[in-house]
Chain A
Amino acid sequence: MSVFYRNFERHAHGAGLKGHATHYCPGCGHGIAHNFIGEAIEELEIQDRTIAISPVGCSVFLYYYLDVGNTQAAHGRAPAVAIGHKVANPNSIVISYQGDGDLASIGLAEIIQSAQLGIPITVIFVNNAIYGMTGGQLAPTTLMGMKTATSPQGRSRMMGEPLRMAEMIAQMEGPVYVERVALYDNKQRNRAKKAIKKAIQLQKENRGFAFVEVLSECPTHLKMNTAEAQNWVKEQMVPVFPLGVKKDITVEPWFEMQAPDFNPQKLVDQIGAVSDAAPKFAGGQFPAHLHPEDIALKLAGAGGDGAQTAAMLIAQAAVNEGFDGTHIPSYGPESRGGTSYADVHVARSEVLSPAAANPHILIAFNAPSLNKFGPQVKPGGIVLYDSSVVSEPPALDPEVKLYGIPFAQIAVDLGSMLVKNIVALGALQAASKLFPPETFLEAVRRALQHKCAMIPLNEAAFEWGQKAVMHLGDMPE
């Protein structure tokens, strides 16, 4: 009995009888299940490590009794709470104690997931075929024809058949041990005690998830005395909920978790932060010829055009030069194949509004993007578009400088359509002088540091993009 509190302080402040008597009705099976858990904890010498999860239902006050770590969970969620505890401290022994409404009705998703996860926790499922705490309503395990407060004519076909949880859990991969036991006589109690101990021992040995369904008596709502209730479980419940081992597989101890790592250098490496600053090439000169403080760019195309990567490289280039840079992609379903556009800002000190409704520079990878965003470009701005796919550019503000560059064609000529965004970046550099070429090339190289083989092709693409702008005069429009 040492696993029980010496005085049930939490039971009405432990006053009078309540300090040593449970809140359960006379003859209720819950107390027996509690005793068996307590004895198992004592015999397995795990009192200090044990966390009992109290459910919602008659056993909501489990935490009054067992002198272990206690957490009281929301209705049905005890297995989720148990998982939270178990991964917080893998050395803890977590016991989820639940009734039939809690586990087999409102908490179905949680019990199924935790059983299938198979992380070693122990679930004790007390099935007495009725809701106790709320006053005798239909439970998912109520027998056919059985009258309850919410099935006053008896459970009918319209209310579905009783749910056999042990069988359901046993057919899953996750659990290692599932048994259904009862409490109605000495033999059954002996089996129940052993099953509960085994289910906890399997957790102690890090072997896996164990589930014991306990057929229990609720004399109060069965409106019977204890002897009648015991007999009812034996005669009526057992045929529907057959007793016995439903699953018992031998699994070597497998559950092991290392202590969390708090090494600062390791964390910095994991998040990809580097200590060497990117070299600067602009000599601190902000491209004020485009705007004195804050330059807005829009890159637009179809998904797969590489607009987002190019946008990211521009923002990165700005930051590498010691300025501020932001990039907002369009996102969501449309980014999975439809249009894809990006708003970029490059600011001397701080990007204020990161949206680029009226950009200074537009890079358009296709005709719809050019038609949509071209007219929004600020007067005096720059528009670069892929002349390999746009034959007729729309008429734009005469003050906008328009560059038709065959991004795609150049990329294909270089051997890979994938680099057309880098061609565009080269063209952007030549047309806008946003930053020196090396600024962009450095950003490209750093982005490709794990794919070094790709660097020469990307450098060539950038260069050809630049050349295409510089020789635009020579090219037939």
Chain B
Amino acid sequence: MLQTRERPKPVVLPAYCKGCGRCVSACPQHCITLGTEINPESGLIPVEIDLEKCNGCGLCFAACPEPYGLTAYDPLMDLDESYLKFPDEDSSTAPVPQEISGETLPLPPVEPLMIKGTYAAAIGALLAGCRHFFGYPITPSTEGAELMAKLLPNLNGVFVQAVSEVATVNMMYGCGGAGMPCMTFTSSPGFSLMLEGVSYMIGAEVPGVFINIMRGGPGLGNIGPEQADIKLACRGLGHGNTHAIVLTPDSPQEMLDLTMLAFELTFKYRNPVVLLGDGYLGQITGKVKLPERMIKPGIPSWGVYGDDMHRRNLICSIQLSEPDLEIHNLHLNEKYQRIIESEQRADCFHCDDADTLIIAANTPARMAKGAVQVLRDRGVKAGLFRPITLWPFPIDILAPLLPKLRQIVIVEASNGQLEDELRLALSHAEIIDVPPISHVRHFGGVLPQQQEIIDRVLETIDTEVTS
């Protein structure tokens, strides 16, 4: 007969009992004994319970590691049924997640600012709705972080100086996973340290903006301006099938504009975005116009925000089953393809009639722009093609310019990392008819200078003329 006491008594659901015996030693009334029969479903030997002496003390429940190993006895329950049946098929009791949408707000009209590149990027982040910054100080990116440290508390934002770049990227993983726009400033060696976390963010589809003010390498290198991390950002974002949009500004104005764009894109694609500057660009002061509108972010439907509306969500990069992980990678590939089709950006300076095309990004593009102007003054049909996205490389914008060209000169502050991106893009686009490619390269913090770019262009033209 059933007792009328409220305290529940245990029933073992044989298939879910692993026969560990923890409940056996837990029961002071010796109600539970190790079983003898193998359960055909689990292949394990569940315990047996005799409720005769049971006083409902509950100690067996507390001892059982299985959430559904022991269940409270209910007179209506079918004891022969080894599976739990729930009235509703849904595994979670949480509501279906909804997006809480953001807003754009008009900004009062103001005069242009005279600010350095790192400050412009920090201000761009604030305008894009970022109120969460995580970072570790590293020259030459620190001034951006310092400005965030100064301004964020006044805007009820959060600045956390992490114990390392490794911790930084994982704080971003948490904050971005919650659906909040967040960012860091770093520089080459720090960026290397973040890459594991970037791979996790890409795998788990977590947004976040990385501003990498690149410096000379390898190793500790120096703090001079180098485009040292093009390869890392375009080809090496941690382990696995990883890509992220890589933006390359060339002025303080673009540091602001592209940082704002980075926040838009990182949420649009649920993928980190990398903004590559160089040491010079971080330091250069220039005129910066503020936009007409700023962003007040909402909470995306997928965020693990910590409220009822988002309780059902999961941020996770592990897919244990091989077919599942393949499906996930195909999903990422589809996203990468959409990015390649929609997000190529470049700036063309005197490209329309150019027969000599200089290709450069970041500060070297400024030197190249000066060179193009001088060459034009001398009657050389030079143009500058400046990728604003390095991944995806703006090959669709470049391709129509190629037939008119007699030469391409790649100008970069790295050992051919930009040229590699160009050549890969040409190859993937199956463009075979390419004019001769030469280059001006410097590294270690030395930047290509306007005059040597001019000299290289003229040298090639002279060789052509004489031969």
Q: Which residues of A contact B (CB under 8 A)?
A: 1-2, 4-10, 12, 14, 16-17, 20-22, 24-32, 34-36, 38, 47-51, 53-54, 60, 63, 65, 67-74, 77, 80-89, 91-94, 109-110, 112-113, 185-186, 189-190, 193, 219, 225-227, 230, 257-262, 264-268, 270-278, 312, 315-316, 319, 324-329, 331-333, 351-355, 357
Contact = CB atoms under 8 A, between A and B. Distances in A.
Nearest to B65: A31
B449 A355 contact: yes
Given A6-B92, A70-B304, A88 B179 contact: yes
Nearest to A70: B314
B243 interface: no
A332 B170 contact: no
B407 interface: no
A145 to B, nearest CB: 27
B62 A63 contact: no
B247 to A, nearest CB: 20
A94 B178 CA distance: 11
B91 A7 contact: yes
B283 A89 contact: no
A315 B158 CA distance: 33
B311 A48 contact: yes
Contacts, number: 351
Most buried by B among A32, A51, A69, A94: A69
B16 A17 contact: yes
Chain B interface residue count: which class?
Answer: 35 or more
B108 A109 contact: no
A38 B19 CA distance: 22
Interface of B: 13, 15-16, 18-22, 25-26, 28, 41-42, 44, 59, 62-68, 71, 83-84, 86, 88-94, 105-114, 123, 126-127, 129, 131-132, 134, 139-140, 151, 154-158, 160, 162-164, 166-168, 170-180, 182, 196-197, 200, 204, 222-224, 279-280, 283-287, 290, 294, 296, 304-308, 310-311, 313-318, 320-321, 363, 366-367, 369-373, 447, 449-451
A22 B69 CA distance: 10
Given A67-B92, A87-B160, A355-B449, A277 B111 contact: yes
Contacts of A32: 22, 62-65
A6 B197 contact: no
A21 B42 CA distance: 10
A80 B162 contact: yes
B285 A315 contact: yes
Contacts of B132: 84, 87-88
A125 B154 CA distance: 36
A30 B66 CA distance: 9
Closest 7 CB pairs of A and B: A84-B174, A92-B306, A31-B65, A353-B370, A88-B178, A27-B20, A26-B18
A27 B18 contact: yes
A71 B304 contact: yes
Nearest to A69: B304
Given A80-B171, A186-B26, A316-B114, A89 B162 contact: no
Given A69-B311, A81-B177, A352 B369 contact: yes
A217 to B, nearest CB: 9
Contacts of A67: 91-94, 311
Residue among B126, B171, B176 with the highest chain A CB neighbour number at 10 A: B171
B126 A326 contact: no
A77 B197 contact: yes
16 contacts: A6-B90, A29-B65, A31-B64, A70-B316, A71-B314, A84-B176, A89-B305, A261-B157, A264-B294, A275-B108, A325-B287, A326-B284, A331-B279, A352-B369, A354-B284, A357-B450
Contacts of B170: 73-74, 77, 80-81, 84, 110
Contacts of A36: 62
Given A7-B86, A67-B311, A22 B15 contact: no
B142 to A, nearest CB: 11
A38 B61 CA distance: 13
A351 B179 CA distance: 39
